[in-house]
Structure 1
Amino acid sequence: MAVPALATEAGVDNIGPGTDGFFMLPLDINSLPDNMVAFNVYYNHYKATKLTISSFGGKVPNVDIESTAVIPRLDYLSPLHVFGGRLAGYIAQPWLKQQVSVFGQSDTREGMGDTTLAPIILWDMGKNLTLGAALEVTVPTGEYSVDRLANTSNNFYTYKPLFSFTWLPTENTELSMKTTYSFNEKNKDTDYTSGQIFHFDYSASYKVTENLMLGLNGYYLKQTTDDKQYGKTVQFNGQDVNDGVRGQVFAIGPALHLTFLEYASAEIRWAREFDVENRPQGDMLWAKVSIPYAF
């Protein structure tokens, strides 16, 4: 039994569920300057003391998983128009600290994580609605070792078609959602392929004052295809892993958004996970500062 594979690859993903909350897309796109950038810094903390793996018959005992991340992200909005929308793009490079204790073993690692980049098209549907479509690519640029429980890389490429929107149904309310579908390549060091995953982040908020919004946020993730194990023997040549080790999770919690310096913003969001299968179960905290700049 390969303990590192069970602890890190069963239900693993390159999604970062819950990353996006308030105002996932900018509004009134066509009125924005021809060249515009936004400097974003995300902070994430995740803590889990439960792990459910169906092939083990349920909950795994003595689990303690903790992850901290600081993620700079650069967004760029160009003057180019494609398919009726404005062409944009972004790149994110996380720094991670992972601490894992499970199956009687413990490990810690910190360093640069996997890079995510994407082109995106933004459609201006009026001052109160923006639609977006992108193709996110996660590149395994972090550190990985098959012999370790904690890694700063998942060690495989992921391609994620993405659709998102931000909508103001009234002057004081905001709704945002981002949906993705992940196609994962094989981890070349373990000959293991994690299944495809459907996921969405969501946010619903209300303006309390001119600069302050309160709301709910969270995420949902559902693995739609089985994990597969490859190898030199026939019995491991692309066979489903046990019962497929399909992961799922739903999370919800409160959130706060503050606008300052006219166009800059800061937010903090917390969510608790429920209805979890084949994944750790815990609490997720996200914070974000965003500063736009036109040139």
Structure 2
Amino acid sequence: MSLPDITAELAEAVPELRGRLLANQPLADLTWFRVGGPAQVMFSPADEADLAYFLANLGPDIPVTVIGLGSNLIVRDGGVPGVVIRLGRGFNTINVEEGYRLRVGTAVPDVKLARAAADAGIDGLAFFRGIPGGIGGALRMNAGAHSAETRDTLVEARAVDRAGCVHRLTNADFGFSYRHSQPPADFIFTEALFQGRAGDTAAILGEMDRITQAREASQPIREKTGGSTFKNPAGHKAWQLIDAAGCRGMMVGAAQMSPMHCNFMINTGGATAADIEALGEEVRRRVKAHSGIELEWEIKRIGIPAG
């Protein structure tokens, strides 16, 4: 399906735009589930200034949705109305700074941050090897793995709001909690500064290898998956609640709760976004009925159902 083409009217309002505006851009191939409809408009800004210029001149009635690497995302089958912003090359830099710090663009994959830190002999960031996704998503959800979280290493970040204003945020400004941060929903993160400590490159790479092996042994990372589906409720593990409710391996259409790790959903081939989301909601219903605990989605869901 397609959505009305509004790129011409958007372009007219931003004659000095350097980034790209594309109509009805397919999104399925940009997500790890490989499902979903198109973006009505896809915008790839050239850099932070280009992003700010575009947002400052974008009508307030046009919805804006930001996506990253698509690792923890369901795009619904009807597509995403308005503008979908995806940061690219202009936000993919990594710079090593004095004092065992790394300044990175938010389009940088988490694994590349971990590798750059290792190469520079900076310890304390290897846990990012175990997080699928990019730095922007890690900031938004306080992503973590192997007993460490984004908040443990973040110094500061930059963001652009819906009005095109640029903000600098300290770690404290994020109000981090488990899988959550508190900056306004319209903030689009553009850059982050991380603090590490002195380390040995070989030892850090060894730790990253151990993290990789642990993931491969326990998670269906070679499948079409969105990673961890539900947050762990306080005092509980989501996968244990799902297993106890009899949902391991359960299917809706071609969507399945992974038999390997039942807090992971997988597209076994030919699943729709509707299948995947319906499976998640059925799991939530069964867990609530079995344990009285209501699971909260960790995967982000955007767009509209197929018409």
Structure number having the greater strand percentage: 1
When normalised by structure 1's length, the TM-score is 0.27
Higher RCO, 1 vs 2 (CA within 8 Å, ≥6 residues apart): 1
Structure with the higher fraction of residues in helix conformation: 2
